[in-house]
Amino acid sequence: MDTPIIEFERVSKIYQGGAGPVTALHDVTLRIAAGEFIALIGPSGCGKSTLMRLIGDLEQPSNGTVRIKAKTPDQARRDRDYGIVFQSPVLYDWRTIRKNVELPLEIMGRPKDQRRQRAMELLKLVGLGDFGDAYPHQLSGGMQQRASIARALSFAPSILLMDEPFGALDEITRERLQLELLSIWWEAEPRPTVIFVTHSIPEAVFLADRVVVMSPRPGRVQRVVEVNLARPRAFETREDPQFFALVTEVRECLRATETAG
């Protein structure tokens, strides 16, 4: 692997909670290459969100080092390397959809016409071309989440951090958005590195180049499963025998973490 964009070197994270310290992550070493699509999967409380937050400089490690493009996460954040999508869309109520997508560009001081053009371009890309002037509450949950993806992509960040972005959506919307996300990611220039947290095994396998399987108490990386399915992936990929084999492999892996934990 050429120089990794994200590098975890024996990283631990201990939270000082009310009921004593909690080891959320223990001794995690991980390298992620530029342009990779990584899925994080594991039972609740195994530290997936924590890992993502450490990358994004939303938390600091207790031990070990995190390097992003050979910089500290703090520096990377100041360089606007991260686009973040949470489980809830977190759109600002008082802004129209277009103005929500423009928000990061506004903060970064881009000129007005450039902002507007970029926002419209991205809204078209996520299928919301006609909804730029609507307010968030006028859109369905799936449409809101699309808008939040457009917002994260608006300033072309090199790393996209997604914490269960489709977790609150129904299965049909979810599968459609998975395909859309893949095609947006595949066509983006330059292609961002994606860290995608999920609870769904098929979702992880369908999307990722590598699935990082984590185990709880304390949170560790159990195994990394390489997904060698051809790209670009399509609806039919989910019917591929190799897809089933990989889903089974990840499932077995997760079961092993259960019995080990």
Partner 1 sequence: MQATTVSTPAVRSTDQVAKWFHILWPPVLTFLVAIALWEGAVWLFEIPIYLLPAPSQIMATFLERPWFLLGIGMVTFSNALMGSAIGCSLGVLVAIFCVRWTFVADGLLPLAVAASAVPIIALSPLMGIWLGSVSAASKIGVIAVMTFFPTLVSVYAGLISPRADALLLMRSYAAPQRDVFLKLRMPAALPFLFNALRVCATLSMIGAVVAEFFGGPRNALGVYIKTQAGILRTREAWSAIMVACLYGLIFYLVIVLIERWVMPWKQRHSGQ
Ligand X SMILES: Nc1ncnc2c1ncn2[C@@H]1O[C@H](COP(=O)(O)OP(=O)(O)OP(=O)(O)O)[C@@H](O)[C@H]1O
Residues in contact with Mg ion by CB under 5 A are: 49
Nearer to partner 1, 90 or 234 (CB): 90
Nearer to ligand X, 62 or 75 (CB): 62
* Least gap, CB of 81 to partner 1 (angstroms): 10
Site string for partner 1, 91-130 (x = CB under 8 A): -xxxx-------xx-xxx------------------x--x
Q: Which amino acid is at 33?
A: A
**Measured between alpha carbons, how far is 193 from 34 in angstroms, rounded to an integer?**
6
C-beta separation of 151 from 165 below 8 A: no
Nearer to partner 1, 92 or 244 (CB): 92
Binding residues among 33-92 for partner 1 as defined by CB under 8 A:
56-58, 77-78, 80, 82-84, 86, 88, 90, 92
Q: Which residues pair with 212 in a beta bridge?
A: 40, 224
Please give the full DSSP string across 2-67, using - where no structure is assigned: -S-SEEEEEEEEEEEETTEEEEEEEEEEEEE-TT-EEEEE-STTSSHHHHHHHHTTSS--SEEEEE
Binding residues among 190-219 for ligand X as defined by CB under 6 A:
219
Nearer to Mg ion, 81 or 163 (CB): 163
**Measured between alpha carbons, how far is 241 from 236 in angstroms, rounded to an integer?**
11
Write out the residues near ligand X by the rule CB under 6 A: 15, 17, 22, 24, 42, 44-50, 219
